Amino acid sequence: MRRALTLRRRGDRVVPGERGRSVPGWAGAGPALASSVVLASRFTPSRARGDLDGSVSGRWLRIPGVRLPFMPPPAPSKSNREAAMLKVYLDPCTVNCRKVLAGLDLMGAPFERVHVDYFTEGHKKPEFLAINPNGALPAATDGDLALPESNAILQYAADLNGASQHYPKDLKRRADVNRWMLWEAATWFPSCYVYLVEYVVKPLLAAQPDESIIEKEAPNWHRLAGILDARLATSAWLSGDGVTIADIAVAAPMHLHALQRLPLGEHPNLKRWMTEGIEQLPSWQRTQDAVMNALGPKQ
């Protein structure tokens, strides 16, 4: 099939245009085409001063007096197209799902949300286990990538969207953000979770909190909170001058700190960071209602 097009002169090059607009099939066609086009310009100098009429026929570009190979750009691959939309499987009331929601919102990262109901154990159903064999929320997919782990999802989304403000590219700064996120998953989340289960989940199930479990965990929790408190004594955010995904990750396990009865009073810098920093972020505030509706005190 023959397709008519107009070529325009730009400097010593001839560039494609249909009435001045670029023609798909030329943009990004690569160096071989670019050099061919320079050649065309030299070959037909008088014509190349203004617009030229040409056509594309099969693999050939024809302009009066010259025939050049035409290389259309590759069609976007399936995985590239799918990479444009991250799918996140979550129930917004859980600690690690809220973390991902608030972090994606902070970064302005687009995603498709798929609800998996935590209370009816959607995360134990075969279709979800195929994505995350751990049977835990959240998880994400991007084309053929299946990605469990809330912190890995935030890191991936940050890179996908170029959110270096919240996940720095500088190696030392990135290492610092990574170490807080690893620390959160390995030690901070499990400790805060003890308070969440005793003071939030058990009352929801009409069970009594077991104070002996809290007493046993308290020294460990205060030790960990002390590490955060010391870090936050000298800066507003955990890593660097601005909020990063490390802040969101570390805040998530204490997201219901009042209901969890976390003893923040002994850690003033940690308390300030949570109440005057994290809780003032619009991205954090937008994720609050879903949590309170599911886990907050019932009327």
Ligand X SMILES: N[C@@H](CCC(=O)N[C@@H](CS)C(=O)NCC(=O)O)C(=O)O
CB of 165 to ligand X, least distance (A): 23
Which residues does 184 contact at the CB level (< 8 Å), separation at least 6? 151, 246, 249, 250, 252, 253
If one asks whether residue 136 binds ligand X (CB under 6 A), the answer comes out as: yes
Scanning 12-20, 63-71, 81-89, 135-143 for contacts with ligand X by CB under 6 A, the matching segment is 135-143
246 binds ligand X (CB under 6 A): no
Nearest distance from residue 203's CB to ligand X, in Å?
Answer: 17
When the beta carbons of 23 and 106 are compared against ligand X, the nearer one is 106
- For ligand X, which is the closer residue by CB, 41 or 244? 244
What residues contact 273, with CB distance under 8 A and at least 6 apart?
A: 228, 232, 236, 237, 238, 247
For residue 141, state whether it binds ligand X (rule: CB under 6 A).
Answer: no
Q: Which stretch binds ligand X (CB under 6 A): 42-50, 70-78, 131-139, 221-229?
A: 131-139
Report the nearest approach of ligand X to the CB of residue 259 (Å).
Answer: 15
DSSP code for 72: P
* Residue 154 in contact with ligand X, rule: CB under 6 A: no
Query: Shortest distance, CB of residue 150 to ligand X, whole angstroms?
Result: 4
Q: Which helix (H) or strand (E) is 86 found in, with range? A: strand 86-90
**Which listed residue (54, 61, 70, 96) binds ligand X by CB under 6 A?**
96
Conformational region of residue 261, where left means phi above 0, alpha means psi within -120 to 50, and beta covers everything else? left
Q: Closest CB to ligand X among 182 and 258?
A: 182
CA distance 47 to 160: 45
Identify which of residues 43 and 199 has a Cβ nearer to ligand X in the complex: 199
Q: Residue 242: what residue type?
A: G
End-to-end CA distance of the chain: give it in Å, rounded: 71
Long-range contacts of 130-133 (CB under 8 A, 24+ apart): 131/89, 132/89
Specify whether the CB–CB gap between 8 and 47 falls below 8 A: no
Count of all residues that appear for the chain in the document: 299
In the shown chain, the binding pattern of residues 181 to 210 toward ligand X, with x for contact by CB under 6 A and - for none, equals ----x-------------------------
* 150 sits near ligand X (criterion: CB under 6 A): yes
Dist CA 249 CA 245 (whole Å): 6
* One residue of 104, 109, 116, 123 binding ligand X per CB under 6 A: 123
| Smallest separation, CB 250 to ligand X (Å) | 12
Q: Is residue 213 at the binding interface for ligand X, with CB under 6 A as the rule?
A: no
Q: Which residue has the tokens 């490390």?
A: 246
**Nearer to ligand X among residue 25 and residue 203 (C-beta):** 203
Cα torsion at 213, 217, 219, 222 (round to 10°)?
A: -130
Residue choice 36, 94, 155, 260 for contact with ligand X (CB under 6 A): 94
Q: How far is the CB of 214 from ligand X (least distance, A)?
A: 20
Q: What does the alpha-carbon distance between residue 128 and residue 87 come to, in Å, rounded to a whole number?
A: 13
Does 155 bind ligand X (CB under 6 A)? Our answer is no
Q: Do residues 59 and 68 lie in contact, with contact meaning Cβ atoms separated by under 8 Å? A: no
149 binds ligand X (CB under 6 A): yes
Establish if 290 lies at the interface with ligand X (CB under 6 A): no
Give the residues lining the site for ligand X (CB under 6 A). Answer: 94-96, 123, 135-137, 149-151, 185
